[in-house]
Amino acid sequence: MAIVTLLDGTGPLHGDAARAFLADHGVLHESWDVSRADTELTTKPTLTPEEQEELVTSFASGLARMAKDYGYVSHDVIVLNPEATPNLAELLINFQREHHHLEDEVRLIVAGEGLFTLTRQGQTFSVLVTPGDLISVPARTRHFFTLTESRNVKAIRLFQTQGGWNAIYDPEPADG
């Protein structure tokens, strides 16, 4: 379960407290059973396109429900670790710049962990996501993402358009 820590020092919030905080701030969070995926696929540092598709297939029923309920029409797999991602440091510089998107940013963490920092309803807070966490950063919410010291995450990304989304770095009035 995600762990929430507020910039003002409140927290960390675990379990039901974290769940309630995210719900109160309009951030969709679900806990998925990632043990349904082949352990080899979740642990190996790099995945071929075929292996990525196999990983996605493990969650076909859940992804179909998300598509039906929220209109997520496409998906892919993102793997970030020093072995799979030679330009990891460069990528992280961009991920760590605050930005927003015009659609939701949805991630199901299947291995590793990451840290989303969001500003909603006048509060800035970090959400540590670990395997089984599905989080949706709402459209137009200013946020950034970084890895933890383990520098490893594997996640399924869900998109509301076929082309995915672009990051908008310039601040503009955002929801929340």
Stretch that binds Fe ion, among 83-91, 97-105, 115-123, 155-163 (CB under 5 A): 97-105
- If binding is defined by CB under 5 A, does position 103 make contact with Fe ion? no
Comparison of 103 and 105: residue with beta carbon closer to Fe ion: 105
The residue among 136 and 152 lying less far from Fe ion, judged by its C-beta, is 136
Residue 113 interacting with Fe ion (CB under 5 A): no
Question: Tokens for 57?
Answer: 């297939």
Q: Which residue is associated with the tokens 């075929």?
A: 50
Q: Shortest approach of Fe ion to residue 3 CB, angstroms?
A: 20
> Measuring CA to CA, which residue among 107, 110, 116, 103 is closest to residue 163?
103
**Does 105 contact Fe ion by CB under 5 A?**
yes
Q: What is the distance between the alpha carbons of residues 4 and 16, in angstroms, rounded to a whole number?
A: 11
* Closer residue to Fe ion, CB minimum distance, 54 or 78: 78
d(CA 67, CA 56): 14
Contact 157, 107 (CB under 8 A): yes
Distance of CA 126 to the CA centre of its chain: 12
Q: How far, in Å, are 41, 129, 135 from residue 116 at the CA level?
A: 24, 8, 9
# residues near Fe ion by CB under 5 A = 1
**Which residue's Cβ lies closest to Fe ion?**
105
Residue placing its CB nearer to Fe ion in the complex, 105 or 113: 105
Residues contributing to the site for Fe ion (CB under 5 A) = 105
